Structure 1
Amino acid sequence: MFWTIVGWIVFGLIAGFIARAIVPGKDDIGILRTIILGCLGSVVGGLIFGLLTGGLRGFEPSGWIGSIIGAVIVLVAYNQITGRKRNRA
C-alpha cells in the first residue's frame, strides 16, 4: 500500500511536470499542486480513453500519454478557473 501511494506521487509529479512544460507560460503552482495535477490528469485521461473506446469502467488511471493529455486538460481548466496566465495588455 505504501509503495502504491509513493508510485502515484512520483507518477503524478512526472506527468504534471511534463504537462506544465507543454502548456505555454510560467506556472507558479509548486510541487504539491504539480503532483495533484498529474494524478488528476491520469484519472481524466483514463476517463477520456474509456469514453473513446467504449470501455468505461469508472475512475481508473491511464498510461503515460493519457495521463499527460489529461494533465494538460486539467492545467488549462485550472488556469481558466483561477484566471492565471491571462494576457496582460
Structure 2
Amino acid sequence: MLIIGIILFGMLIGAGAQLVLGRGAKGIDWGLAIVAGLVGSFVGGLLISLLAGDGLDFRPSGIIGSIVGAILITAGWMWVKGRSTTT
C-alpha cells in the first residue's frame, strides 16, 4: 500500500510540475509525470530534507524539495525533447 501511495504522490507532484511549467495546456503526459515526480521527489526531497537538518522524516521541507526537484526534471526533459525535435 505504501508503494501505491508513493507512486500516486509522485504522479501528482509530476503533474503539478507540468502545470507550473505551462505544459498543462497541451495535456499532461502521465508517463513523464510519474517519472519526474518519483525522481524529483527522491532527489529533491532527500537533498532538501538533509540540508534543512530534518533527516529522513516527512517534513514540509521535503515536500518543497520534491516539487522543486520535479520541476527541474520536467524542465530538463522538455529542454532535451525540444532540442531533439528542432535538429
Give runs of ≥4 in structure 1 deviating > 6 Å.
54-57
- Tell me how far apart the structure 2 counterparts of residues 54 and 64 of structure 1 sit (CA, whole Å): 14
Residue 10 of structure 1 aligns to which amino acid in structure 2?
L
Q: Which residue is equivalent to 1:81? A: 80
Structure 1: 5+ residue stretches without partners = none
Q: Which residue is equivalent to 1:24? A: 22
What are the superposed Cα offsets for residues 23-73 of structure 1, whole Å, 9 maximum, x if unpaired?
12455662222111111110221344157447888xxxx732211111000
Q: Quick check: which one's helix share is greater?
A: 2
Of 28-37 and 71-80, the range deviating more from structure 2: 28-37
Give RMSD over aligned pairs.
3.0
TM-score by length of 2: 0.68
TM-score by length of 1: 0.67
Quick one: percent identity of the two aligned structures? 36
* Partner SS, residue 66 of structure 2: helix
Structure 2: 5+ residue stretches without partners = none
| Cα distance change on mapping 1:55 and 1:9 into 2, 3 Å | closer
What is the CA-CA distance between 1:82 and the residue it aligns to?
A: 1.5
The question of whether the paired residues in 1 share the 8 Å contact of 2:10 and 2:38 is answered with yes
